[in-house]
Chain A
Amino acid sequence: MNKNPTIVQPIEANVAPMQTISGGHIILLAVLVVAALFPWFSDSPSHQNVAILVMMAAQMGVAWNIVGGYAGQVSLGHVAFYGLGAYTSTLLFTQFGVNPWIAMLLGGVFAAAISLVIGWSCFRLKGHYFTMATIAVAEIVQIVFTNWEFAGAAVGITIPMDQEGWGAFVFASKVPYYYIALGLLLLTLLANFIIEKSYLGYYFRAIKDEPDAARSLGVSLSKYKQIAFAVSSFFTALGGSFYAQKELYIDPASVLGTAVSIKMALVSILGGIGTLFGPVIGAGVLTIIDEGTRVMFGGSGRGTDLIIYATLIVVIAVYYPTGVMGWIKNLSARRALKSQNAKGV
């Protein structure tokens, strides 16, 4: 849809298109191989931890992007689903002894079900109103959990680590968490890929770009917004459950705080909103900036890291609103134009 025929077509057919397609595939394959072998390259737990953080942020961003990027419904309350996932799986395990893997899945289903209830009311609102409503919903969820004794209230819940291993979803080493995070990210990307290629992707983009035209063609806007919201919530909740199992501790601030919602959206915007790999790139950039500034400037306790982080957000939002992916697209379009000119077309 986004391909610009005037740029692609004039390039000699036998070389260029093949090259761009296989070039992308090669990069993708290389990234996958590097990702799969990463724990062999680096056995430093802190490096592995940063890699896990990148993948967690990427997974959240990819999940958010389904409704926020493709369907254009900017939810800034997605942390509600992240927290619901984390709390559902943790409570099912600690209170009822449900296996964490099954509990994680149930958390995802529960969050998707709740998203239908929230979406039913919030999707009647447009633009800013929708965004504000999602913030309000998330805030209410946070207040409820902060005061709910059964869910540990403000103190939170600790997951016991008396059992260890794949069955218990508790590990002493970072490596299993690394592979689970990678698997979760790939799964979420796959879901996004399938949506992008299916009729759903077209409907989502129509809702975003031409809502009135889509409605006049008989597309039920609310139905497809709901689908986008539910799928997005499901994967967001899986991310929340994974966080709980990795940290073995959750509280309202960490899994229901506004900062988490913002991070999901930010990762997508940094990388390129409404693109498949944008959030992955955004997660890499953001996590490195975040961790880097914290390590370099965080020790002073004077908020220097926050200043740098915030300045970057502003600069990127003002000057690169299409994110890294938009920048790359721009660059390759320019290069194609140049080679076109060189050939005298």
Chain B
Amino acid sequence: MSLEIFLQTLASGVLIGLIYALVAIGLTMIFGVMDIINFSHGEFLMFGMYSSFWLYALYALDPIFTLPLTTLFLFGFGVMVYKLVISKIVTAPMVSQLFTTFGLMLLFRGIAQFFWKPDFRTVDQSIVSGSVQIAGFQIGLPQVTAGVGAILITAGVYLFLTKTKAGAALEATAADKDAARLMGIDSQKMFALAWGIGAACAGIAGALLSTFFPIFPEVGANFILIAFVVVNLGGFGSIVGALIAGVLVGVIEVVGGFLLGPQYKLAIVLVLFLAVLMFRPQGLMGKA
């Protein structure tokens, strides 16, 4: 592998890794705040993709411009899912929580299939189509846009959590529900907020992906396992951990796939994931 190809591969790994990070941030936030693993997280991403697609197909609006709309849709959707379903299982045993979100995953796929059929769809004429020449490499413009977008959103979520009052309340709930409640923080509201932001992050990732990734009801399956790995590697509940682990996974996947064949991409990531779990079960940035 020549240096040039290696660097190019590396760059595309970093870019896809940033998207993984964005998906995982939503997942890790929900987990951090209320200890629930959301199996249907990939379907939030899928709905984000369809939102972009339909605004594009019906009104000729570019996914990049409709990003705020998609964010809003998914935020509302996440809050709704929390209020209608998740709020009822906050204190339920882990098994029933697992199966609730797993059932939601199947349900959302079924709904997407019902309305939009299992066909593959694409947004083929986005303003970010084509590719750019950066320092001698040819990189797809959609990928670059998506990577930059993911960085901005991640930074935004991080600033929200560290600099705002609502963010501090969210962090307090994540750290200690009961203590936070004693300080006058409504944990129900915080849980709903976590689901809203979590869904919005996945939705934005979907919108960013929609310019270069096929859109179909089961597309979430491609991202959920990776997102779990990223959350685990980064440490459950850690935003910074998710960002580092996301990029790491993206790079490992792309470089490993290049060396051993693309069919082993996921296997390489999973083997590394298991290896890290053995030595550091709490993840890179998690607390022991």
**Partner-B contacts on A (CB < 8 A):** 74, 76, 121, 124-129, 131-133, 135-137, 139-140, 143-144, 146-147, 262, 265-266, 269, 273, 301-304, 306-307, 309-314, 316-319, 321
A28 smallest CB distance to B (angstroms): 26
Complex partner residue of B110 from A128, A303, A317, A321, CB under 8 angstroms = A303
Q: Is the CB of B109 within 8 A of A318?
A: no
Which of chain B's residues have a CB closer than 8 A to the CB of A76?
Answer: 98
The CA-CA distance from A312 to B94 in the complex, in Å, is: 18
Which of chain A's residues have a CB closer than 8 A to the CB of B102?
Answer: 262, 313, 317
Judged by DSSP, the binding face of A is helix
Which of chain B's residues have a CB closer than 8 A to the CB of A310?
Answer: 103-107, 109-110
Q: Is the CB of B103 within 8 A of A129?
A: no
Which of chain A's residues have a CB closer than 8 A to the CB of B148?
Answer: none
B140 smallest CB distance to A (angstroms): 26
B244 at the interface (CB under 8 A from A): no
The CA-CA distance from A316 to B271 in the complex, in Å, is: 34
The CA-CA distance from A74 to B110 in the complex, in Å, is: 26
Which of chain A's residues have a CB closer than 8 A to the CB of B100?
Answer: 314, 317-318
Near A by CB (< 8 A), chain B positions 86-134 give: 88-89, 92-100, 102-107, 109-114, 117-118
Complex partner residue of B96 from A135, A146, A307, A318, CB under 8 angstroms = A318
Q: Is the CB of B232 within 8 A of A131?
A: no
Q: Is the CB of B277 within 8 A of A314?
A: no
- Segment at the A interface, from B15-23, B154-162, B201-209, B259-267: B259-267
Q: Is the CB of B103 within 8 A of A317?
A: yes
Q: Is the CB of B95 within 8 A of A321?
A: yes
1/0 per residue B244-288: CB within 8 Å of A? 000000000000000000011011001101100110010000000
Residue among B112, B267, B271 with the most chain A CB within 10 A? B267
Which of chain B's residues have a CB closer than 8 A to the CB of A146?
Answer: 263
**Partner-A contacts on B (CB < 8 A):** 31, 37, 85, 88-89, 92-100, 102-107, 109-114, 117-118, 217, 225, 228-229, 232, 236, 263-264, 266-267, 270-271, 273-274, 277-278, 281
**What 7 pairs between A and B have smallest CB-CB spacing?**
A303-B113, A313-B103, A306-B110, A310-B106, A310-B107, A321-B96, A314-B103
Q: Is the CB of A121 within 8 A of B94?
A: no
B90 smallest CB distance to A (angstroms): 11
Give A69's nearest chain B residue, CB to CB: B95
A107 smallest CB distance to B (angstroms): 23
Which of chain A's residues have a CB closer than 8 A to the CB of B110?
Answer: 303-304, 306-307, 309-310
15 more A-B residue pairs beyond the given contacts A302-B113, A306-B113, with a C-beta to C-beta distance below 8 A: A76-B98, A128-B236, A132-B232, A132-B277, A136-B225, A136-B273, A143-B264, A144-B267, A302-B114, A307-B110, A311-B107, A312-B103, A313-B102, A313-B106, A314-B85
Q: Is the CB of A139 within 8 A of B277?
A: no
Which of chain B's residues have a CB closer than 8 A to the CB of A273?
Answer: 95
Give A270's nearest chain B residue, CB to CB: B99
Which of chain B's residues have a CB closer than 8 A to the CB of A304?
Answer: 110, 114
**Total of A-B residue pairs, C-beta within 8 Å:** 124
Give A274's nearest chain B residue, CB to CB: B95
Q: Is the CB of B270 within 8 A of A136?
A: yes
Q: Is the CB of A136 within 8 A of B229?
A: yes
Give B87's nearest chain A residue, CB to CB: A318
Which of chain B's residues have a CB closer than 8 A to the CB of A131?
Answer: 37, 98
Which of chain A's residues have a CB closer than 8 A to the CB of B93?
Answer: 321
Q: Is the CB of B99 within 8 A of A266?
A: yes
Give A259's nearest chain B residue, CB to CB: B106
Ordered by A's residue number, 8 sampled pairs between the chains whose C-beta atoms are within 8 Å are: A74-B94, A135-B228, A136-B270, A265-B99, A269-B96, A310-B107, A311-B103, A314-B103
Q: Is the CB of B89 within 8 A of A317?
A: yes
The CA-CA distance from A314 to B100 in the complex, in Å, is: 5
Q: Is the CB of B99 within 8 A of A317?
A: yes
Q: Is the CB of B99 within 8 A of A307?
A: no
Complex partner residue of A140 from B99, B118, B271, CB under 8 angstroms = B271
Residue among B92, B100, B229, B264 with the most chain A CB within 10 A? B100
Which of chain B's residues have a CB closer than 8 A to the CB of A301?
Answer: 117
A61 smallest CB distance to B (angstroms): 13
Which of chain B's residues have a CB closer than 8 A to the CB of A316?
Answer: 99
Which of chain B's residues have a CB closer than 8 A to the CB of A318?
Answer: 85, 88-89, 92, 96, 100
Q: Is the CB of A129 within 8 A of B95?
A: no
The CA-CA distance from A127 to B93 in the complex, in Å, is: 11
Which of chain B's residues have a CB closer than 8 A to the CB of A266?
Answer: 99
Q: Is the CB of B267 within 8 A of A140?
A: yes
Q: Is the CB of B267 within 8 A of A121?
A: no
Which of chain A's residues have a CB closer than 8 A to the CB of B31?
Answer: 128
Q: Is the CB of B263 within 8 A of A143?
A: yes
The CA-CA distance from A105 to B84 in the complex, in Å, is: 47
- Given A125-B281, A318-B88, A321-B93, A313–B274 Cβ distance below 8 Å? no
A300 smallest CB distance to B (angstroms): 9
Complex partner residue of B117 from A136, A140, A302, CB under 8 angstroms = A302
Which of chain A's residues have a CB closer than 8 A to the CB of B118?
Answer: 303
Complex partner residue of A139 from B232, B270, B281, CB under 8 angstroms = B270
The CA-CA distance from A128 to B93 in the complex, in Å, is: 12
Q: Is the CB of B94 within 8 A of A127?
A: yes
B259 smallest CB distance to A (angstroms): 15
Which of chain A's residues have a CB closer than 8 A to the CB of B236?
Answer: 128
- Given A140-B267, A147-B263, A313-B99, A133–B85 Cβ distance below 8 Å? no
